[in-house]
Structure 1
């Protein structure tokens, strides 16, 4: 160390070789106002104060002398910067609720974090106080609102409870007063009623005695009337009621006997009716069985007749079918033979057919004369021969076309109908 530290006493200084400079060891104070952000992202301004001094030990004085000797006014800004950084770091790891509730913890953490740096500066922190927290966002105020509302509610409840208790006490007192007044009024009314009753009893003593006497007389008269009524009842019982009961008993016995006789007669009639119904039912059953037997016989005969008719019809159908089949086979054989003949000797077959049908052909040619009413022949016999020859010549002219049609298997062309000239 190239300098000498002297504290609390004097020292010899060689002018020109040594220089004396002083460093105050008194307390210093630095105001803090740091903008911080909590772990919740809420902005908060922390206001505090740091009280510090240069340490008394030689190492602290040496460190402070190296940094602040001749520049002691800069000490405050250095301390501010140290605490500003640590405050921001520590508050950034805490919530707003922790900062509010645990300010001592916050101060302790800041002092611990800044202790090493302050020691390097030769400074010792005597005190760190968090004076205030400013909340630009209003979080602290909003955080307090539920508690404020709770406190206000509890205050209102307490006030209402006290008011209710006071009202109950007042009501109890009023009720007690009313009860006392009511009891007093009742007692007064009872006393007055007793007095009135006594006066009324005194006033009614005479009439009441008369009424009591009359009541006793009426009671005695009632007893006498009751005894007389009992005597009359006994007379009626002996002279009227017993004979009437005997007569009623006789009538009831006679009615029961008549009822029994009627019941027996009714049962006999019912039994007779039942037997007749059974006999009729048996008769109907026998007739039904007979009818059923006859119907079965008729049905059997009808069945046999139907089967015979069906067999005859079936035989007739078989015979007709056989005849049709034979005719069809004969026609088929004829057609087959004709086809074979046409294939082998066509001219001969056609000539035979023309010869066989020649009368019909000539008749067809002469058919127009059938519709002639009067026929006038000119030139006598020659005219008649000429007319007949014309008809035959028409038939001869028509034969080639018929022959060609038969060869080709077509229907012969129809001859146009022409009425000969008369």
Structure 2
């Protein structure tokens, strides 16, 4: 075990026991079965002289210098509050975070350098990767632009190179600290920039001559204008000075008047404050005197209360002593009676306890026997319920199980036998009578007005006879017997079929 400390421009990368991926830190204890590597975070310059071709198939040399190093600010999971940043980050940043490096740029860089134990070979490999990215992205960008666009939009060209290369370097935890695109040069066998330079030189020379002539003309005219404006400005300044001097004098007079007014107001406020302070002191003095008198009266009241309280306490203590003596006598008698009663009660309680224990043992044994019996019955019922549940599932539900059990146990046959036994020996009587229009000797439309009443009275005698035969109830003769004899000649003879026999009423 050892304690490692990194230099100001270094970090420690620790792997091994107890560390899931790679732990990036400045200082740490390195335990057994752990490995610690140092890596520098100093940026390096990558100078390249790229040969590229524009959209018009023009070849040229593009000298560039990039300052690239590890991104020490994008710490990801190793930084404080990384979990909150991972949840609150944008979706584009979350897409670049994987489960291995958790978006930590230094962890990505450390894993890139860990490809080989030899640091020189690792630096060489890193240089090849960076130069390959710069060269590839620059050539792709140049091939989509014309030479005119490259010249006229130098800043946009530089920003696009920076953005494209930075997007590729993010996966290795690297950051572009500076990018410098130098002047473009002709490739071998090309004189494009030389021709443009000569053209620009000649144009600049001619334009310089024109500019010199224009400058001389402007100088002569401008000198005359300057003299005139100088005299005008001097007169204007003198007038402004006089006006400002007058305004300053007026402001000084106003300030002196305001000062005197403020002094008067301050003197008045001071005098008022002095008077208020004197009155306040007098009022406080009166309040203090009043408070002293109140406290003196309260003290006298408390003294009188204390005197009465002492007298009452002495009287209460004497009464308490007499009561205590009486209570002691009562307590002594009660104690003697209690001891005597306790002895007899203990004997009876001991006997009752012995009998209760014997009865309790017998009751416990009986209860245990009944419990075992109930448990066995419950187990049998549970097994039977489980079997019925499975039969119900097999027959499609409780209804199917019920039909199966009724068929299995002959319930339907028993029900049929019980129904047959219930109606055996019955001798039902059925009476049918007719009091319709046919007895009147005509159709429904030719009856007289008394036909309805006559039909009702004709129906009553056979109805009473039927009730008597079926229930044994005989109605009084004075109500229906004589009436039936008198109206018997007018009642139609109706034939009733009862148990296969004909009967006339």
Q: Same fold (TM over 0.5)?
A: no
TM-score tier, shorter chain, comes to 0.3 to 0.5
Q: Which has the larger radius of gyration?
A: 1
Higher relative contact order (CA 8 A, sep 6+): 1
TM-score (norm 1): 0.36
Structure with bigger strand share is: 2
Identify the structure with the greater helix proportion: 1
